[in-house]
Each structure stands twice: as C-alpha cells, then as structure tokens.
Amino acid sequence: MSTSTLSDTVTRDIRVVVKPQYEADHSNPEGLRYVFSYHVTISNEGDRQVQLVKRHWIIINGDGDKQEVYGPGVVGFTPTLAPGEEFSYSSYCPLDTEFGTMEGTFQMIDDGSEKFDVRIGRFYLAVNADQ
C-alpha cells in the first residue's frame, strides 16, 4: 500500500494511525458503490490513562459531497488505554465515487476527568491506490 494514503497523527500523546484499503470484492463500480476498509490503531504514548468516548468522522467523496458521522465509541467499544497501550479496530466506508477522504476526531477523557479531542488526520480512499 502506498504510504501516501495513510494517516499518522499525534494529539496530546495519543497517536492515531489509519491505513485504508479499497475492497474490490465488496464494491460494485457499475452501481457506483466503492467500498473501502480502514484499519485504525490508537496508541497512548503519554503518562495518563485515557478512554475513548466519542467519534466524529468527516467523509468527503470525489464530488465534494460531505457527510458527518457522530457516535459513541468505536465499533461498539469505548476502550480505555493505560500508558503504553494501544487499541486497534477495522471498519469500512462505502462511497459513490472512486475517490474520497476521511478525517475527524476521537473525544477522549483522561484519568483526571478532562475531556479533549484527538485529531484523526486526513486519509485518502482511492480505487487506484498502490496496495
């Protein structure tokens, strides 16, 4: 996979790495349905325990149409990460174009009950990305 399609960002010692991939077997280009999976790894590189409580995704297709998704946790979990721990999950995003982007935030709460947003840097969903 081309490293130009992935995202690697750090906010307040929380690293978020996202690796997207086009899923040809689940897509239907004739029907304008392009499915992309993405694998997320969240690492606590700090010295305080944190819990992921909410997510906010901004999805933009190749035509510039924007969709925002909000919700609790990720894939049914609100993981707690002690210093040095990480949590990984995979999900997917269908688009009606061959290209798009995703980015957003995870809302975290630390062991002092302070809420803060962790940035998920923009990554690219592209049918023709090197894989």
Could you report the per-residue pLDDT of 7-32, keeping only the tens digit for each?
A: 999 999 999 999 999 999 999 999 99
Per-domain boundaries in the chain: 3-126
CA–CA dist 127, 85 (Å, integer): 33
DSSP 112-125: TS-EEEEEEEEEEE
Could you report the per-residue pLDDT of 30-68, keeping only the tens digit for each?
A: 999 999 999 999 999 999 999 999 999 999 999 999 999
Q: Which residues of 70-81 are buried (b: 16+ CB within 10 A; e: fewer)?
A: eeebbeeeebbb
- Rounded to the nearest integer, the mean pLDDT of the chain is 95
Of the candidate CATH numbers 2.60.40.1470, 3.60.20.10, 3.40.50.150, 3.90.226.10, the domain formed by 3-126 belongs to 2.60.40.1470
